Amino acid sequence: MKFLPLLWASLWRKKTRTIFTLLSIVAAFLLFGMLQGVNAAFERTADLANVNRLVVVSKISFTESLPYSQMQQIAAVDGVDAVSFNSWFGAYFQDPKNFIFSFPVEPRRHFDMYPEFKLPEDQLQAFERNRGGAVVGAALATKYGWKIGDRIPLHSTIWTRKDNGSSDWNFEIVGIYTVPTDVGQENQFFFQHENFDEARAFGRGRVGWYIVRIKDANQAAQVGAAIDALFANSTDETKAQSEKEFQMSFLKQLGDINYIVTRILIAVFVALLFATGSTMMQSVRERVPELAVLKTLGFSDARVLTLVLGESVLLCVLSACLGLGIAALLFPALKDVLGLVRLPGEVVAGGLIAAVLLALITGLPPALRARSLNIVDALAGR
Amino acid sequence: MNAIVTLQNVTKRYTRGKQTVEVLHGIDLEIAQGDFVALMGPSGSGKTTLLNLIGGLDQPSTGSVAVAGERIDSLSGSRLAKWRARHIGFVFQFYNLMPMLTAQRNVELPLLLTSLSASQRKRNAEAALAVVGLAERARHKPNELSGGQAQRVAIARALVADPTLLVCDEPTGDLDRSTADEILNLLQVLNREHGKTIVMVTHDPKAAEFATHQLHLDKGKLVGTTATSTTAA
């Protein structure tokens, strides 16, 4: 600790250069925090998947629909406890940037399938009674200031109405659900499938995918295989998968997030390695006489090496703390999208480890050079 | 004579490229405790090389160097560094202060290698600055000091750990006559009143007059010793 003032003063010897280097590292760690945070949020979503639930999609593609009639057949498969379904409505509220995760469902069947979604019984009954009714998540309601009784117009990018060809659909909010275990799930919008099915211009009698609750999680593979076998060689072959697999494949519609994030971060850190490394080398080159004086005063080769490495660690860790700190401040703003209210601790820890590694890699060559300085030659300017 | 520095048959050779040059040839020398010695000689005579050997910055090719009763010619790099920290205070021609540190922090540098507490280090640095008459400039950085003041800070840094020996390489070489005399007076006071043993390289005969003895080097050999009968004041 007693060397900290010396390290700090050495770091700020060339203020402008240090500020620019610091800012470049801050920017890199801000990016690291945000991208790794997004990655962690996606992985967490998959990790929260229920092991008792399977998702049955079309074997051709996740975007292909399945006939409603399959539901009863799936329900009859040995080991199946309950079945519900979902469809992708693809809508926004007022402006395309206000994307809404919206799904037509059968009210009681849906909330029975997802017991973690908490909806008061009177509101569920109102949802069942009101054909134009909708239930929204608490976070979504808060975001747009919606309350029960409000009429909400949604514009679907897929579905048109058969009565007027319009893509605009109106709903009345009759309930607001919460998900205490995962507030990230409180950004969805559910409305009555029956009314939707009658009103849509095409695709009647079909749903997007089925959700199947099984009696024994250990039998998931067998039950899934039995469901797929049931529809093998039909016009609507299925592919049953665990909820986690489904969510991962759903997220991969956006691309392999982990792959993209990793490649971006590698590119950023390689660039940073060269930038910081060259700054540290230049900084030590300029201070050769000063380092020689320290050695003259009795600082050993090892201590001089440690001081230069310490300076590099101080710069990188300080910058990483600032970058990750800004990411942590920005992260709550993405709560609605990612479902995470704060930057995960493992991302912060990973960032700090990366900062120390960066510091050691960029600091080692100049530190070794400082260690091997010959005092007489350095003082003589040779 | 109670010798604090003893050199026996010391030679020093340097290899530059394919050439090996012998800079010092069989030097035998003793410096008494409490002495103030001026090493004189023309450029290239080996003054600074000899000073570097006495200060433990370099090691002889042959021969032995003992300072304060300890042979330093065969110490490893890390032990020599520890030895320098304990026994030697250095003063350079161009002060060699850390530009980003205040005068007080510069003076504190050698104390970072001791077990003194932060408050003790601060007190000792302030005391050393007071000895050189710069207590009021403790918060100033080197670029806010004159050449003479910067050299005084360097002397305070050399003194602060109470070394056995002060080693000064052309300490007035960058100063005007009047400021140089102030610095030499200060060194004289340190020698006479504080009992510091000082070895100073200089090519300036006027500066050498402040020492108690003058050693003359020429072409790597000691060619004469002169006791300064009446030292300048």
Task: Tell whether A116 and A246 lie within a shared domain.
Answer: yes
Q: Are residues A65 and A93 in the same domain?
A: yes
A245 lies in the same domain as A270: no
Answer yes or no: is B182 within a domain.
yes
Query: Within this chain, do residues A120 and A23 fall inside the same structural domain, yes or no?
Result: no
Q: Are A237 and A59 in contact (CB under 8 A)?
A: yes
Of the candidates A289, A290, A299, the beta carbon closest to that of B81 is on A299
Structure tokens of A367?
A: 């530190």
Report the C-alpha gap between A86 and A107 in whole angstroms.
Answer: 11
Same domain, A134 and A263: no
CB contact under 8 A, A296 and B113: no
Percentage of chain A exceeding pLDDT 90: 63
Q: What is the pLDDT of chain A when averaged over all its residues?
A: 89
B90: in domain: yes
- Asked if A5 and B105 come within 8 Å (Cβ–Cβ), the reply is yes
Domain count of the fold of chain A: 2
Beta bridge partners of A56: A210, A240
Q: How many domains does chain B have?
A: 1
The better pLDDT of the pair A345, A341 is held by A345
pLDDT at A41 over 80: no
| Residue B226 CA, distance from chain mean position | 20
Contacts of B98 in chain A (CB under 8 A): 6, 9, 290, 293
From chain A, the residues in CB contact with B100 under 8 A are 9-10, 12-13
What single DSSP character describes residue B109?
G
- Strands B221-227 and A151-156, bridge-based pairing: unpaired
The per-residue pLDDT for range A143-192, each reduced to its tens digit, is 999 999 999 999 999 999 999 899 999 999 999 999 988 877 898 999 99
Query: Residue B81 and residue A298: Cβ atoms within 8 Å?
Result: yes
Same domain, A303 and A222: no
Q: Is residue B13 part of a domain?
A: no
Q: How far is A279 from chain B (nearest CA, A)?
A: 18
* Dihedral sign (CA A119, A125, A126, A132): positive
Q: Are residues A295 and A348 in the same domain?
A: yes
Hey, of B88, B91, B92, B100, which one would you mutate to test binding to chain A, going by the most A CBs within 10 A of its CB?
A: B100
Considering only alpha carbons, which residue of chain B is nearest residue A13? Answer: B100
Lowest mean pLDDT among A34-38, A72-76, A172-176: A34-38
Q: Which of residues 292-321 of A touch B (CB under 8 A)?
A: 293-303
Q: In what order do the strands lie in the sheet with B36-40?
A: B88-91, B165-169, B197-201, B36-40, B213-218, B221-227
Average pLDDT estimate for A347-376: 92
Give CA–CA dist A136/A142, Å, rounded: 10
- Report the pLDDT averaged over residues A365-381: 89
Last residue of a domain, one of A218, A235, A251: A251
Test the A interface: residue of B47, B51, B57 with most A CBs within 10 Å:
B57
Asked whether residue A340 carries a pLDDT value surpassing 70, the answer given is no
Residue B18, domain member (yes or no): no
The residue among A220, A251, A282 that closes a domain is A251
Q: Chain B: residue nearest A375 by CA? A: B57
Question: Is A375 within 8 Å of chain B by CB?
Answer: yes
Contact between B109 and A297 using a beta-carbon 8 Å cutoff? yes
Domain holding B154, by residue range, is 35-57+78-223
Residue A220 shares a structural domain with residue A263:
no
Q: Which residue has the higher pLDDT, A246 or A28?
A: A28
State the nearest Cα–Cα gap between A380 and chain B, in angstroms. Answer: 10
Residue type, B94: F
Q: B-contacting residues of A 190-209, CB under 8 Å?
A: none
pLDDT in tens, chain B (233 residues): 688 999 999 999 988 788 889 999 999 999 999 999 999 998 889 999 999 999 999 999 999 999 988 999 989 989 999 999 999 999 998 889 999 999 999 999 999 999 999 999 999 999 999 988 889 999 999 999 999 999 999 999 999 999 999 999 999 888 888 889 989 998 999 999 888 999 999 988 899 999 999 999 999 999 888 877 555 55
Torsion of CA A117, A119, A121, A126, to 10 degrees: -120
Which residue in the set B58, B83, B113 is minimally distant from A299, CB to CB? B113
Q: Which domain holds residue A373?
A: 4-45+256-380
The reply to whether B194 falls in a domain is yes
Domain edge (last residue) among A251, A284, A307: A251
Instruction: For residues A325 and A337, state if they share a domain.
Output: yes
Reported residue count of chain B is 233
- A301 and B90 within 8 Å at the Cβ level: the answer is no
| Residue A34 confidence class, pLDDT cut points 50, 70, 90 | confident
A286/B contact by beta carbon, under 8 A: no
A282 touches chain B (CB under 8 A): no
Q: What residues in A contact B156, CB-CB < 8 Å?
A: none
Write the CATH number for B85.
Answer: 3.40.50.300
Same domain, yes or no, for A213 and A293? Answer: no
Closest Cβ–Cβ partner in A5, A12, A289 for B96: A289
Looking at the predicted structure, is the pLDDT value of residue A337 above 90?
A: no
Are residues A205 and A354 both part of a single domain? no
Model pLDDT, residue A43: 72
pLDDT digits (tens, 9 = 90+) for A223-281: 999 999 999 999 999 999 988 777 777 666 656 677 787 888 888 888 888 888 888 88
Q: Which of A10, A298, A301 has the CB atom closest to B113's CB atom?
A: A298
**A352 is written with which tokens?**
């700090």
CB-CB: which of B82, B98, B99 is closest to A298?
B82
Buried/exposed code over A356-366 (b: 16+ C-beta within 10 A; e: otherwise): eebbeebbbeb
pLDDT reading at A135 higher than 90: yes
Cβ proximity of B186 and B200 under 8 Å? no
Contact B85 A5 (CB under 8 A): no
Please report whether residue B65 resides in a domain.
Answer: no
**Residue A91 above 60 pLDDT?**
yes
Same domain, yes or no, for A200 and A324?
no
**What proportion of chain A, given as a percentage, has pLDDT over 70?**
94
pLDDT in tens, A275-305: 888 888 888 888 899 999 999 999 999 999 9
> Do you know the residue count of chain A?
382
Q: Smallest CA–CA separation between A352 and chain B, in Å?
A: 28
- What's the pLDDT score for residue A268? 85
* Closest chain B C-alpha to A366 CA, distance in angstroms: 19
